Structure 1
């Protein structure tokens, strides 16, 4: 690294590196974990100082596999850590299953000792299950938001890419942990170092906790039409109590026939069909991610009866809600690769 770069990122030598303990849950997401870890490594390299250290922890203390099947060797089990450490709970697929009693007890114990604890991707679910997010602002991957809201009413869930509410942090997964850790580096050692880390990662647009995680509706659907976007937003906000096409059309100042033509032209389906697909997608998320009864899932998605729900679900997904739930937790083939960090 050039002398000029070292001067630009010069920081005072830390007496003790700030340590991050990554709690790797079974089937955690590799991308989100790497997004949290790599900024720490690059900060050390860019500054020429050991500002941060880290350890990989997990139940059993031996190894854990991430969602793509790669195995990671662990540094420790659920051992007592220092109060100055930061715990980052790295979740991914089948988060309910990997949120074990031992993990919950460990998190509660460390929380009582005042340790900063954060959730990566679906790790926020595990924190909430441990009661660590009650009354706190938090976020989780958009795909898990519906089920999270149903289960944890005392958490102030947001759609931000990351949240730092006192000593409780959370991120939405994907690349959002990079933004969280750049914020940490900036707070600890200044914006210059954080910007240098971002440059090294070729991360050209640093986001803040004011940024939301999902693409805008026009970007998602590939159409820039203000009234169409407005109607879709209304649909997404009224899943449990669906609005009629006539009411949707009236609220955006057009006739029902005009609304039909708008959806046919840009989305090749009727408003009713599009709305049904939104509701069924939420239903599938709830079936796969919660223990809610099929009847309660149907009600949460605006279906008046389980029979109607089952009929619509079968028509769209070619299976019944009951069978869908039965396919949860099917083992995925492991990948014969072993990684150690």
Structure 2
């Protein structure tokens, strides 16, 4: 039952997660990132994740749908000690990135950095993905590969490479966060969180973003394809 609580012999330590929202971010990506963590807390009966949202300043951040999100902290008063810092940005990036943002990201000491949707490109511009595998939205792969040849860019759903993570955005963020929950608190809890969102299954990291038309149409006649 969804209301049952997962029992731990020894609950995992609380993970402090910061989610930086940049203007034009996708609401779907943001929800797919944050809500699995909150449901993991609920279903486990433990504070597995402490999530804080961040913005460039104290002003509300407008999404691509023009809905405003009030963040918990601006960069100037962001928590100094985070286990993971995730950047969610639109793709492609429709504006220049402020110099103070780039500098702040370079100086931040989170154990793990992540970029979701256009957030991966933000990290690449900061030089924070050099030598790492990174999953970016497939329409941006060619351009970003040419601009940042030291980043190993893939068209998979998501990548978790040492202390870097990235995903294509949208529902790929959900699969990435479910994978993290499985790593932190076990596959059973991750499966229950997946069931909460009525997900058929947790997709693997190396599954492709762009599904060929033939695969999408199944056994349709070639003339229709």
Partner residue of 1:90?
88
Structure 2 SS opposite 1:103: helix
Q: Which has the higher contact order (CA 8 A, sep 6+)?
A: 2
Structure 2 SS opposite 1:95: coil
Aligned pair in 2 of structure 1 residues 98, 42: CA closer, same or farther (>3 Å)? farther
If the length of structure 2 is used for normalisation, what is the TM-score? 0.90
CA distance in 2, matches of 1:54, 1:201: 19
1:244-283 aligned at under 5 Å gives the runs 265=223
Structure 2 SS opposite 1:169: strand
Query: Aligned residues, how many?
Result: 223
**RMSD of aligned Cα (Å):** 2.3
The answer to whether the Cα contact below 8 Å between 1:139 and 1:172 also exists between their aligned partners in 2 is yes
If the length of structure 1 is used for normalisation, what is the TM-score? 0.61
Aligned pair in 2 of structure 1 residues 2, 133: CA closer, same or farther (>3 Å)? closer
- Mark the structure with the bigger radius of gyration: 1
Partner residue of 1:103?
101
Q: CA deviation at 1:190?
A: 0.5
User: Which shows bigger deviation, 141-150 or 21-30?
Assistant: 141-150
**Structure whose residues are more often strand by fraction:** 2
1:208 aligns with 2:209: no
- Find the partner of 1:29 among 26, 31, 34: 26
Q: CA deviation at 1:93?
A: 4.5
Unaligned runs of 5+ in 1: 229-264, 268-341
- Find the partner of 2:173 among 165, 172, 177: 177
CA distance in 2, matches of 1:174, 1:46: 23
Q: CA deviation at 1:98?
A: 5.4
The answer to whether the Cα contact below 8 Å between 2:57 and 2:75 also exists between their aligned partners in 1 is yes
Structure 2 SS opposite 1:177: helix
**Residue deviations 1:137-190, cap 9 Å, x none?**
001111221221221111101111000111110001110011111111111111
Aligned pair in 2 of structure 1 residues 60, 210: CA closer, same or farther (>3 Å)? same
Unaligned runs of 5+ in 2: none
Partner residue of 1:155?
151
